[in-house]
């Protein structure tokens, strides 16, 4: 993989000038260039290898405090795109809350987000790494892979704005995912495992063997009765539940627009006594780490919850201006064709660890959930199907559970956290151990 960031820098400069000429007061251009290799696994074989190259720019033009956005990947349409952004901004009413694009400043260097071994990887190596994942998945008798994916990516981005902000940074990412099944007929069990990193340090064999082990453990599931009990939510499960509820409510835009149950709760205790949550845009090697956020505000480490007390919402430059605070550096975007939106960078859930399984007399261990995105993002009510779940009896993991639903409220859940494991996992931009929650409802 290789790319020449100068091409994208030239495109960005051209767009900036064109937007200025068409009458924009302020202009921001985000340019992205990426190359990636994907490998698809079907059963125990590789069925596809893919290389893709993408580059393009996203233009924000500001007229009287109103923002217009456009994007293109076609060098011949840069001027059209810049003009479209300006004319879109002109359709909007002026916005008295606009406090300008970020100003030029110094940035910290983030370590561990670019690995030349990934940038220079060849397709054969990618295929070999994918094969290791398959080797792991077939290493246990009676479990077999169904499908999987390998991806590695190098991207360079540039942010230019008319206040003199100029950020350029390169990063890499590598990830593997595989799903396995075991058993058959009415007693089939499936499980997936994945790992993601900025660096070439993933144990691909282990991803496969873990998926296989979890699929095997699920065979012979039993039914459960409807009850309230202690539930241990493993990293995948707690991350999924919080993502569609709590994290949505931390977004200052939702708070300002009356769409967050956390509105008016700054300084209030909303979580368990020992619960800390931070969101760190500078975390070494973090999937969400960069020296700046995607509108050029320097990244920083924000204390969201300290001893259960809500410290801050997540802000970009605009919503921060509205609340009279500083941006927390949480403007992000998926790609150049999207404008910025507010989201977490690297959210870490911190709670004093202990041997939570041994400490649980009676409860359930939930590996992952399906349907978390159907939760009510505002009220926090959720009702999800638990997967890869087990009974816990007298401090031991017991029988696998065939099927059950877990229902509750994400905000009550934060208050009812009463333990955490030592098994901290990095799940992309959420970092969490298994979390023990008292009194969740199970529907069998």
Partner 1 sequence: MNTQQVDFHDTRVLRSSGLSIFIDNGEIEQISNNYTSGTACRALVKGSWGIVSSDNIGDPDSMLFSAAKLSGQAHRISPRQDIELAGAESPLIHDLPVVEKDPDDVSIEEKVELLLDIHKRAKVRDISSSTVMYSESVTEVDYSNSEGVEVSYSLVRTGFAVTAVASLNGVFQMGRESKFNVCGYELFDRYDALELAETAGNTARDLLSASVPKGDRMPVILDQELAGVFIHEAVGHATEADHIAEGNSILAGKIGSQIGSSCISVVDDPSMHGYGYYPVDDEGVESRPATLIEKGVLKSFLHSRETAALFPDTGRPGNARSQGLARPIIRMSNTYIKNGDSSFEEMLSGIKDGIYLIGSRGGQVNPGEGVFQFNAERGFLVENGELTTPVRDVSLSGHTLDILKHVQMAAGDMKMTSGRCGKGGQLAPVCDGSPHILVSEATVGGSG
Site for partner 1 in 271-300 (CB under 8 A): none
Calpha distance 264→252 (Å, rounded) = 11
**Contact (CB, 8 A) for 270 and 312:** no
| Residue 321 CB burial class (10 angstroms; 0-12, 13-18, ≥19) | middle
SS3 396: strand
The nearest distance, CB 88 to partner 1, in angstroms, is 4
CA 341 to chain centre: 13
Rounded Cα distance between 258 and 255, Å, is 5
By CB under 8 A, which span of 14-22, 281-289, 303-311, 403-411 interacts with partner 1? Answer: 403-411
Give the pairing of strands 143-161 and 166-182: antiparallel
According to CB under 8 A, which one of 374, 393, 396, 423 is a site residue for partner 1? 374
Q: By rule CB under 8 A, what string of x and - marks binding of each residue 144-163 to partner 1? A: x-xx-x--------------
Q: Which is nearer to partner 1, 103 or 226 (CB)?
A: 226
The contacts of residue 185 (CB under 8 Å, 6+ apart) are none
CB of 391 to partner 1, least distance (A): 18
- Cβ atoms 314, 330 nearer than 8 A: yes
Tell me the three-class secondary structure of 107-172, residue by residue.
Answer: CCCCCCCCCHHHHCCCHHHHHHHHHHHHHHHCCCCCEEEEEEEEEEEEEEEEEEECCCCEEEEEEE
Residues 38-97 that bind partner 1 (CB under 8 A): 39-40, 42-43, 45-56, 66-75, 77, 80-81, 84-85, 87-89, 91-93, 95
CB of 111 within 8 A of CB of 47? no
Residues 319-348 that bind partner 1 (CB under 8 A): 337, 339
CB 329 within 8 A of CB 300: yes
Site for partner 1, residues 219 to 238, rule: CB under 8 A: 226
Q: Are 31 and 16 in contact (CB under 8 A)?
A: no
Q: Which of 24/110 has CB closer to partner 1? A: 24
CA angle 217, 220, 223 (to 5 degrees): 110
Give me the 237-276 binding string for partner 1, x by CB under 8 A, dash otherwise: --------------------xxx-x---------------
Q: Which stretch binds partner 1 (CB under 8 A): 231-239, 293-301, 380-388, 413-421?
A: 380-388
The region of 139-147, 165-173, 229-237, 282-290 touching partner 1 under the rule CB under 8 A is 139-147
Tell which positions 188-207 bind partner 1, by CB under 8 A.
188-190
- Cβ nearer to partner 1, comparing 105 with 227: 227
Q: How far is the CB of 299 from partner 1 (least distance, A)?
A: 24
Selected binder of partner 1 within 163, 403, 415, 438 (CB under 8 A): 403
Q: Which residue among 385, 391, 415, 425 contacts partner 1 (CB under 8 A)? A: 385
Comparing CB distances to partner 1, the nearer of 50 and 362 is: 50
Residue nearer to partner 1 on the CB measure, 281 or 408: 408
Task: Kindly give, in sequence order, each residue whose CB lies less than 8 Å from that of residue 267, ignoring residues fewer than 6 positions away.
Answer: 309, 310
∠ at Cα 443 (441, 444), nearest 5°? 140
Interaction of residue 7 with partner 1, rule CB under 8 A: no
Choose one: 16-24, 161-169, 321-329, 365-373; the region binding partner 1 (CB under 8 A).
365-373
Measured from the CB atom, the residue of 96 and 394 that comes closer to partner 1 is 96
Q: Euclidean distance between the first and final Cα of the chain, in Å?
A: 50
CB of 293 to partner 1, least distance (A): 18
- Residue closer to partner 1 (CB basis): 146 or 438: 146
- Does residue number 19 form part of the binding site for partner 1 (CB under 8 A)? no
* Rg for the chain, CA atoms, rounded: 24
């Amino acid at each position: 993989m290789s790319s020449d960031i100068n091409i994208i820098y030239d495109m960005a400069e051209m767009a900036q000038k064109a937007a200025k000429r068409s009458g924009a007061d302020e202009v921001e251009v985000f340019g992205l260039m990426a190359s990636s290799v994907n490998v698809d696994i079907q059963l125990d074989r590789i069925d596809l290898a893919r290389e893709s190259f993408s580059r393009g720019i996203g233009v924000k033009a500001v007229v009287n405090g109103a923002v217009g956005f456009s994007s293109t990947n076609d060098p011949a349409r840069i001027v059209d795109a810049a003009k479209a952004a300006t004319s879109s901004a002109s359709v909007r009413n002026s916005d008295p809350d606009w406090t300008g694009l970020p100003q030029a400043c110094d940035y910290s260097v983030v370590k561990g987000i670019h690995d030349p071994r990934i940038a220079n990887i060849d397709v054969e190596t990618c295929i070999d790494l994918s094969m290791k994942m398959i080797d792991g998945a077939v290493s246990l008798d009676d479990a077999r892979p169904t499908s999987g994916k390998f991806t590695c990516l190098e991207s360079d981005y540039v942010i230019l704005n008319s206040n003199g902000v100029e950020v350029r940074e390169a990063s890499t990412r590598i990830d593997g995912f595989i799903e396995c099944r075991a058993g058959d007929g009415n007693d089939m069990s499936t499980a997936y495992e994945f790992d993601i990193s900025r660096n070439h340090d993933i144990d691909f064999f282990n991803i496969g063997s873990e998926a296989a082990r979890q699929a095997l453990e699920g065979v012979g599931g039993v039914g459960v009765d409807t009850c309230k009990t202690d539930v241990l939510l493993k990293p995948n499960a707690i991350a999924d539940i919080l993502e569609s509820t709590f994290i949505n409510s931390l977004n200052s835009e939702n708070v300002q627009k009356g769409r967050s149950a956390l509105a008016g709760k700054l300084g209030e205790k909303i979580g368990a006594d020992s619960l800390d949550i931070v969101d760190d845009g500078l975390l070494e090697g973090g999937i969400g780490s960069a020296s700046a956020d995607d509108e050029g505000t320097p990244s920083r480490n924000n204390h969201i919850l300290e001893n259960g007390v809500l410290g801050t919402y997540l802000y970009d430059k605009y919503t921060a201006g509205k609340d009279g605070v500083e941006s927390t550096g949480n403007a992000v975007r998926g790609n150049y064709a999207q404008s910025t939106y507010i989201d977490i960078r690297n959210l870490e859930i911190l709670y004093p660890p202990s041997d939570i399984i041994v400490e649980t007399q009676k409860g359930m261990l939930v590996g992952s959930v399906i349907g978390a995105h159907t939760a009510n993002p505002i009220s926090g009510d959720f009702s999800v199907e638990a997967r890869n779940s087990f009974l816990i009896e007298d401090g031991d993991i017991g029988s696998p559970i065939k099927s059950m639903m877990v229902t509750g409220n994400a905000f009550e859940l934060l208050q009812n956290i009463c333990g955490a494991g030592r098994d901290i996992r990095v799940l992309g931009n959420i970092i969490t151990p298994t979390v023990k929650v008292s009194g969740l409802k199970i529907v069998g």
